[in-house]
Structures are given as C-alpha cells and as structure tokens.
Chain A
C-alpha cells in the first residue's frame, strides 16, 4: 500500500512537472503578452516598451524565462541574457522559482506576490465549492434513491427528464438567467457578489450564497443522482438483497441497511477528492456571480497575459486536481479491500 502511494505520488509530481512545461509554452504561444496593455497606446513609445521588457525580463528566450520561473533567476549568470533588469539591479527582487515555492510577482497586479493574491481569494472559492458539494449531496442522493426505487415509474421518469434537460443547458447560462430573472426583475436574490457592502452578517452572506451554490451544484446533483440510481439498481439485483428479503426483513430495513449502505460507498470515499475537483472547476460560476474567488482571478490573469499568475493558478489547480484523483484512488482501495493496486500496478 505504502509503495503504491509513494509510486502514485511520484508519478503525480512528474505529471505536474510536464504539465508546467506544457502550460508555460502554451501561455507564451498565445498572442499578446503582459505588455499588451501598451499596444496601440499613443502615449508610449517603442523605447518605453523595450525598457519595460528588459525590466521584467520579457526579452529573454522562453526556455530561460521558464528556468527563471521554475528554478529561480538568482543562480543564473548576472547578465541580461539570463536575468531580468529588476533582478540585475536589485538581487532582492530576483525570482526564486517555484521549486523554492516562490511563485513570483504578478504583472497585472503590479508586483504583488502571486501567492498573496491567490490566498486572498481562496476562502471565497472554498466556501462556494463546499456549499456546492453540500447541496449536490443533499439534493442528488435523495433523488437517486427515489429514482432507483421507482424505476420506470413516474417519479423516476420525471427526475430523469429534469436532469437530462438541465444537463443539456450550460449551468453558467442557467445562472445568468436566474440572476437576471430572480435578481433583476423580482429582487429576490442579490445581483452577484459575496456580501452587501457594509453588511457581511451571516444571513447576508447566506443570501448571497444561495443562488451561486444552487446553480453550481446542478452538475453535481445530476451526476450524483444518476450514479446513485445506477449503483442502487446494481445492488438491488444482488443475491444478498434477495436473501435479505427472503429472510423476512422489512423492505425499509433492506433498503437502508443493505442497499443504500453499499450503493453509497463510492460517494463517501470519493467525496474529499470530488471536493478538490469541484474546487478547481468553479471558474465560470465565479465569473457569472461576481464571486470574488480564484475563478475571476484566473480570467483576469489570462486576459492580461499575467504569466506568473497564470502559471501559479495553473499549478495550483492541477495540483488540486491530481491530488483529488489520488485521494479518490487511495481511499477507494482502503475502503474496498477487493481493489488491490499492488497487483494491478506492480
């Protein structure tokens, strides 16, 4: 088991390193750059652009910029080929590289530490992701149970029609629609944001949270209810369920003790991992609801070609994603002894 975890961990690290190279290259290939804001601005001259490129080291080759980003520029030769102008004139301003957990400074946010910007927004993202997951479970599991128990009858059909319908429409679009109808025309929910300015009480925050959490949970509870329906039907056809019925247990007892317990197993074990996945996937909802989390930051970073910020967000979200998958796998094998990775992988 330990060997498996170590092996998977190392594989994940390697995967991440490769991902950073790909990410860095792709971002550099995108048209424009951090100085794009000066494009077509008659107040600047070419000399201004060149001066700023040198200052921020954007005139260096992409591999050198990658090295500086990944491993730091303080150990690179003190020449303009290797170091940014800022690092040359002030060694304190050198980037130390992600390997030493220095994610660098943001271009768009004018030298603020990238990590600081991200940490500032994490609570909001966590809150939304957690609420979303909570609602997914609370709505999705009962629906899945009802669907399975009434298989082929009207409750099942109704639930399936609704879920399929919701599944065909992008959730962010539903969010925008609800925001305009419920918020704009009826004034039932706030038009985005996390709190009323100057308020920020629990109820106020909850009021702001309801719509974003509900909408971002749609995908979750649809998925949960369908998987649970499938799992339940699977378990219902098992011999031990028939045995339980045969030995005269009340149907309720059979459902709760035998069917549900087994059908829910994959959820319980995977929840932690799923949470991390939800966390790394809430960008669109944050944009739609003006939620001050990492999603908005990501869009800003991409639009302004803020390489360090983009890369940091990229690394963090792939880290969360990979960690999430890893957790799901490991926990699953812990809970279900039949899953033995030793033989599979080894």
Chain B
C-alpha cells in the first residue's frame, strides 16, 4: 500500500518510469520495507499488502487524476527523431533555507550502496542520497524527460544515435569533475556479465556507449526503441571512476566504497551506517544541482514494523512514518502531521488473473466474461479500499498518458453473466452453474501472502459474488514464496489468482506481461494474442507518441475484451510528514521529486 513515501531523489525518479513491479510482495520478502509507491532504482517487489487492510473513509483531498492525464498526455506528444533538446535551467543558484535535520524511518535496512547489485527499496533510497541520478529526469508535471546531468541531447535522423552533452560544472564530493569517462567506465562494468547486474538484458538494445570527449556521450542502439531514452538515462548513474577503478567491483571485503562510499555525486554524503540500526547523512555542498540540499542532516532509522514507524511519527521522534490504510483517518487528524495524498502516475493496480490454459474452464472467453459480469467491481473497490482506489477497466490506469477510456468495462450485471455462461454451455440449475454433464463449476482461487487482509477480503468477496450465480470458489491462501511457486508453475492447478502490478510511466514495459515468451513467469495466466504482441511491437518501435498512444489504446481494448484478468482498481498514494517540514508538493510523480528543496521552519 503506498502510504509512506521514502525519499527518492532524482536518481530514483529517473528510473521510476522503468520499473514495473508486481507489488504483491509479502512481508516475507527481503526488500519490502517501506511502502514507497515509487519504485526504487531497481526495486522489484515493493509492498506488503498485509498492510492494505482498509477501514479508512473517503478523503477530501483533491482529485488530481484528470489534471495528471491532461498534463502528461500533452507533454508526451513530442517527435523525437532528429531533434535536439537543450535546457537553460538554472542549476547553480544555491538554496536558501539551509539547516535542520530530517528523521526518516524504514522497516528494513539497505543491503549496500552499490546501485548495480541491489534491488531492494531501502537500498534504493540510500543510493538516491549519495548518487546523483541519470542523464535525464522526468518532469514532475508533464512527466516527460528533460535534461538533468546532460544539459542537452540530440537524436540522429534515423533515431539510433543519441548524443548527450554533459554539464561542465558537476563535481564529485572530493572536488574532481564528473565526466563522460565516469559514465563510460560505469557502463562497461555493468555490461560485464561476470559482474552480476541483475537487469543486464535491459541494456541489450545498446550497441555502443562511447565517450568521445570528457563531456560528450554517444549511445547507439540497434533499432528504434521507444523506451530507449528513459532506459539509457535511467539505468546508468556514474560511479567515481578515479576511486572505484582501483577497487573490486562487487566484493565488499575488497571494496569498502560499496558499504561506505567516500566519494559521491548525490545531494548527501554518508556519515555513518550502523547496519540494522541507522544511517546518517550530511549535505554535500559539492552537489551539482543548486548545491547543498536545504536539509543539512538526514537520518534513516530502522524500526521493527509499520506500527512502530507510525508511533514514531506520531510522537515526533521521526518526521515521517508508515500510515496503513486503517490508520489514515486517524493520521489526518494528528496535530503535528500533514498527510499528503495524490494519484501517482506509477499507480498500483489489482486484478484477478484467469488461467487461460487449455483444460481450464476459464480458457473459454465466455466464462471469463461471465465471471467478470458477476462481480460488482465498483462495490468491491469501495469495500476493500474504502475510497483509496478507483475502478480500472484495462491494463493502464487513468493516470497513464496512453489511457484509453473507450474499453469494455463489464459492469456488474447478473443477467449478462448468466447469458455469457449459457453461451459457454453452462446452465444455472437449482442455484448451481452446471456444465453439459450436470457438474457444478468449481474454481480454485489462490492468493498470497496469506497474511494479507486486503487480499483475503478480496478473495472472500469474489467467492461471495460468484456463489450468487452458482459458481463454487475454493480459496487457498499461500505463504508468499509458495504463492509465487504456484503462480509460476509450468502446470498450474489454479483457475484464478489475486495479483497486483505497479504501473509504469513508460507504457511499453507492460508488454512483458502479455508476451507469450514470458509464460509462465510474468505472463502467469498464459495469455497469447499475436495481435496484441504486434501492436506492442509497433508501439515500441516508434518515437511518435501519437502513434504510440493509438497502438497502446488498441491494446487496451483487445485485452479488456479478452479479459485474461478481471481488472479491479488502482490505488491512491499518501504520505505523512511532520508539519515542520515545508516545501512538499506531491505530483503524479510522487512526493520526493523535490525533497532537496524541502526545508525546516526555523522557529518550531
């Protein structure tokens, strides 16, 4: 549940667009610490839906969805081939509210500061403190890429060569300049298969990564690839070559910089890290973007769980803390806390996956339609999420720039449900949905982790709705690892499962969920539709956003019609911050995008 937002700085923001995430991760997973709705640089599983339990009532916060859609949709309409983009943004003038200390909490500690070996959320936040970010970053309002560490870039006419011109005024914290050589060296290390970068295949589209001089980077790719710009700027943040090249890339015993970086590029420098206790940071006055951040000292304390984190925030011991949905109402009334709420562009959404493999009742499209009609998704959304979520009809939430409102939604209609079942050869007899042989339709629904109250509530609600049309549902709750095993089994034995994804700002990433080659891992329901694959390919092979919007729009229509998932809802995000922290302005990008400008009211 997105409630507490770990600070993520530009580094993270840049990567957020790329990180699609199955967010069903149980508390059992090593990484889910905070319920940050931002995906950290390499974050995979982020949240524990155990905390999703909801008793909060609808809030009165501004509904920003429309605004987001308008802003981002407009902005994405840029032609990219043969263009030159530059920025005249002032990045030098120092900030004016320096001082103070921010106290953060996390429920799991980081693994290390190595951005190319870790994938967990807390490591992502730690790394966001000390590493500067990528070549480009996302605009907080328009969600389009704009120059960051590169002050300008050009794309060749064929759309295959990207030339980035780095800023000349960027320094490492030891005073050495940050150059294209640092980028190039870092890229070369990451690219070495022995170096264990988990997402190496993400860089496969890059054919050459060259630094013709100290302030120019020339990146060549194999074919026109829409997410290229985001990927090349988001996946590589430079490490200080002059320090790291003498050290081992991955062995913390031989490279102390991995656990305690001394030369950094980000807004903060590490002072001390006591594993499983706390980490303290101080402002880096050599930071290239407007110099030192406003808040001079930053502490992250490790706490046992979300409840303690909340108590710490309430008592003022920390400036932020996790707010589980059932505490949201209480938190809004706390005298010392401001609760910020927003609809993120990278929203989490929930669905029920239907097994499309042969031999399963759900492989019949009419059965899938019948099931979908039989569930009142509006009511379910309200019951389970209590106003903290909105209805979803296809694979992109309203906050996505490619969102297509014109898709079949399968609104609750028992008559249509029984009609659909009739077409599939089922009849409703004595309150039982029976097939031609008179056998009642029985479906197995699995969910995980078994500790998740929200998932449990969803499962029971679905069971209840389907019993009304005579379909028997057997619910099986599984521990997280067992759930994943069951989900990704080559021969699964379930008919339905409850799942969730984190949307991505870049729509193309979602292709992986629907492509045949990713059965049974990402495409657990075994959805195979060559038209969809073709449309995704076409959408990914052009920089023309109008064309892309059309292609992904068509994809949404086809998938909604096919109903491999029963689409349920996407979620709002929120964060509690102590009132003494000023300058917080959450946008669709999240809350942390301007955290370097947050400041502390001196008088309080």
Complex CA distance for A113 and B18, rounded to whole angstroms: 32
Complex CA distance for A180 and B302, rounded to whole angstroms: 17
Instruction: For B318, give the chain A residue with the smallest CB separation.
Output: A191
Note all chain B residues with C-beta closer than 8 A to A111.
117, 250-253
Q: Is the CB of B198 within 8 A of A191?
A: no
User: A222 to chain B: closest CB distance in Å?
Assistant: 24
User: B570 to chain A: closest CB distance in Å?
Assistant: 17
Q: Is the CB of B304 within 8 A of A289?
A: yes
Q: Out of B30, B274, B512, which one reaches A303, CB within 8 Å?
A: B30
Note all chain A residues with C-beta closer than 8 A to B299.
197-198
Q: Out of A195, A287, A300, which one reaches B30, CB within 8 Å?
A: A300
Q: Is the CB of B21 within 8 A of A37?
A: no
Q: Is the CB of B194 within 8 A of A86?
A: yes
B-side interface size class: 35 or more
Tell me if B154 is interfacial: C-beta within 8 Å of chain A.
no
Q: Is the CB of B120 within 8 A of A197?
A: no
Known: A37-B44, A193-B301, A193-B303. A32 touches B201 (CB 8 A): no
Instruction: For B251, give the chain A residue with the smallest CB separation.
Output: A111
Q: Which one of B117, B299, B510, B522 has the greatest number of beta carbons of chain A within 10 Å? A: B522
Note all chain B residues with C-beta closer than 8 A to A183.
311
Tell me if B485 is interfacial: C-beta within 8 Å of chain A.
yes
Note all chain A residues with C-beta closer than 8 A to B303.
191-193, 290
User: A341 to chain B: closest CB distance in Å?
Assistant: 42
Known: A39-B484, A42-B513. A197 touches B20 (CB 8 A): no
Note all chain A residues with C-beta closer than 8 A to B484.
31-32, 36, 39-40
User: Of A45-53, A260-268, A316-324, which stretch is located at the interface?
Assistant: A45-53
Q: Is the CB of A110 within 8 A of B118?
A: yes
Tell me if A109 is interfacial: C-beta within 8 Å of chain B.
yes
Q: Out of A47, A193, A288, which one reaches B201, CB within 8 Å?
A: A47
Interface residues of B in 1-32 (CB under 8 A from A): 18-22, 24, 28-31
Q: Is the CB of B200 within 8 A of A48?
A: yes
Interface residues of A in 43-69 (CB under 8 A from B): 43-48, 51-52, 55
Tell me if A167 is interfacial: C-beta within 8 Å of chain B.
no
Instruction: For B23, give the chain A residue with the smallest CB separation.
Output: A40
Known: A41-B22, A42-B522, A290-B302. A31 touches B202 (CB 8 A): no
Q: Out of B112, B117, B304, which one reaches A287, CB within 8 Å?
A: B304
Note all chain A residues with C-beta closer than 8 A to B28.
303
Q: Is the CB of A48 within 8 A of B30?
A: no
Q: Is the CB of B120 within 8 A of A37?
A: yes
Known: A43-B18, A183-B311, A197-B301. A48 touches B199 (CB 8 A): yes
Note all chain B residues with C-beta closer than 8 A to A110.
111-112, 114, 117-118, 250, 252, 258
What does the 1/0 interface line of A68-95 toward B look like (CB < 8 Å)?
Answer: 0000000000000000011001100100
User: B477 to chain A: closest CB distance in Å?
Assistant: 14
Instruction: For B314, give the chain A residue with the smallest CB separation.
Output: A184
Known: A110-B114, A197-B301. A45 touches B201 (CB 8 A): yes
Q: Is the CB of A31 within 8 A of B252?
A: no
Tell me if A218 is interfacial: C-beta within 8 Å of chain B.
no
What does the 1/0 interface line of A165-206 toward B look like (CB < 8 Å)?
Answer: 000000000000001100110010001111101100000000
Note all chain A residues with C-beta closer than 8 A to B202.
43
Q: Is the CB of A30 within 8 A of B481?
A: yes
User: Of B90-98, B275-283, B402-410, which stretch is located at the interface?
Assistant: B275-283
User: B308 to chain A: closest CB distance in Å?
Assistant: 5
Q: Is the CB of A290 within 8 A of B304?
A: yes
Tell me if B580 is interfacial: C-beta within 8 Å of chain A.
no
Instruction: For A108, give the chain B residue with the smallest CB separation.
Output: B30
Instruction: For A191, give the chain B residue with the smallest CB separation.
Output: B308
Known: A41-B22, A180-B307. A85 touches B194 (CB 8 A): yes
Tell me if B119 is interfacial: C-beta within 8 Å of chain A.
yes
Known: A52-B196, A110-B118, A197-B280. A304 touches B22 (CB 8 A): no
Complex CA distance for A194 and B31, rounded to whole angstroms: 22
User: B248 to chain A: closest CB distance in Å?
Assistant: 9
Q: Is the CB of A44 within 8 A of B198?
A: yes
Tell me if B312 is interfacial: C-beta within 8 Å of chain A.
yes
Known: A31-B484, A48-B199. A197 touches B278 (CB 8 A): yes
Complex CA distance for A191 and B310, rounded to whole angstroms: 11
Tell me if B315 is interfacial: C-beta within 8 Å of chain A.
yes
Tell me if A296 is interfacial: C-beta within 8 Å of chain B.
yes
Complex CA distance for A90 and B481, rounded to whole angstroms: 32
Q: Is the CB of B482 within 8 A of A31?
A: yes
Tell me if B521 is interfacial: C-beta within 8 Å of chain A.
yes
Tell me if B584 is interfacial: C-beta within 8 Å of chain A.
no
User: B348 to chain A: closest CB distance in Å?
Assistant: 13
Tell me if B70 is interfacial: C-beta within 8 Å of chain A.
no
Complex CA distance for A180 and B312, rounded to whole angstroms: 10
Complex CA distance for A30 and B485, rounded to whole angstroms: 10
Instruction: For B279, give the chain A residue with the smallest CB separation.
Output: A197
Question: Hey, which bits of chain B sit against chain A, CB under 8 A?
Answer: 18-22, 24, 28-31, 42, 44-45, 108, 111-112, 114, 117-120, 193-194, 196, 198-202, 250-253, 258-259, 274-278, 280, 299, 301-304, 307-308, 311-312, 314-315, 317, 479, 481-482, 484-485, 487-488, 509-510, 512-513, 521-522
The 10 closest A-B pairs by CB, nearest first: A40-B22, A32-B481, A304-B30, A292-B276, A41-B44, A184-B311, A31-B481, A290-B304, A42-B512, A45-B201
**Given A40-B488, A109-B112, A121-B276, 20 further pairs, Cβ under 8 A:** A31-B482, A37-B119, A39-B44, A39-B45, A41-B45, A42-B20, A43-B44, A93-B251, A110-B117, A110-B258, A112-B253, A121-B275, A179-B308, A184-B308, A192-B304, A193-B277, A193-B278, A288-B304, A289-B304, A290-B302
- 6 CB contacts below 8 A, A to B, read A38-B44, A43-B18, A43-B19, A187-B315, A197-B278, A290-B303
